Amino acid sequence: MEPKIQEVITDKEQMRQWSRTMRLHGKTVALVPTMGYLHKGHLSLVEEAHKLADVVVVSVYVNPGQFSPSEDLSTYPSDFNGDIEKLMNIPGGVDAVFHPHNLYDYSSNQDTIETPNVQNGIEGGVLSCLEERGLGHETWVRVERLEKGLCGKSRPVFFRGVATVVTKLFNIVEPDFAIFGKKDYQQFRIIQRMVRDLDMPIEVIGSEIVRDADGLALSSRNVYLSPEEREKALSISRSLLRAKSSFKMGETNCRELKNLVIQAIDDAGGEIDYAEVVETESLMAVEEITRPVVFCVAARFGKVRLIDNMEIHV
């Protein structure tokens, strides 16, 4: 099949009408939400979407709502033209790219979020123009218990921003399927729970982590690692593999497994945010592995915060 992108859509109503037209023609729709700066991990989600649905939509939108003022929104990497080229070269391409200017008016939320002053252009990264003036938006979606642990401890506004904008994307695109990478495991489970709780007619699919040949989980932020930091960051995936191997050899005590990972990352010069073994759906911490769990880790190397995880099946 020839590489293709049928349409690049920036308008919400046009996007909604596009999806509804597809449905009128009996086609199913899959959505792959992204923040752009695409890598092989994102492209694997698109490939998975092609297996599930007749047409595939990729959204490219850097969401200000999931960043606190102290985080790296203004420097988040962006290359929209490069993203389009990568999508065109996937077997089958994509049927539509949804690239909205802004999905939330933060003008009444200045105590919570600061929208960066960025050029409004196709290569400009975060597009900060507000579509509506006057009273800003003030409705948020929260998955209250699942958002509290893991990344939610150090990033208290993150999942509120994710759930709200993903809800808006779902309402605009109206997909049958939505595909998320399991590297952001907590995010994946939060979106699944949100869809269940709010009776959204969408199947949320978790796609496996894609790694570089050396084991580092692919991330848009990896570009900010120096060669030395990148080498040290391999301690995350390598220690998770050792923990999984230790479990297979009979170690079920989570404290012992966590100590193994924490020590390896400390020795490599990383700064641990968390290392937790949690139940796969509830994300509740467990002390002994007697049922399927996921070992989730977040750590900083230099200024770059990385997350990774490994599922352990019983």
Cα separations (Å) of 158 from 117, 179, 190, 284, 297? 20, 19, 12, 19, 17
Q: Is 313 a catalytic residue?
A: no
Smallest CA-to-CA distance from 96 within 146, 46, 171, 170 is with 46
| Residue 87 structure tokens | 């999508």
* Dist. CA 144–CA 135, nearest whole Å: 26
Q: Which residues contact 286 (CB under 8 A, 6 or more apart)?
A: 254, 277, 278, 279, 293
* Dist. CA 127–CA 277, nearest whole Å: 37
Catalytic residue selected from 42, 50, 99, 137 = 42
| Residue 277 structure tokens | 């073994």
Please tell me the number of Cα atoms within 13 Å of 193 on its side-chain side: 19
Catalytic residues, which ones?
42
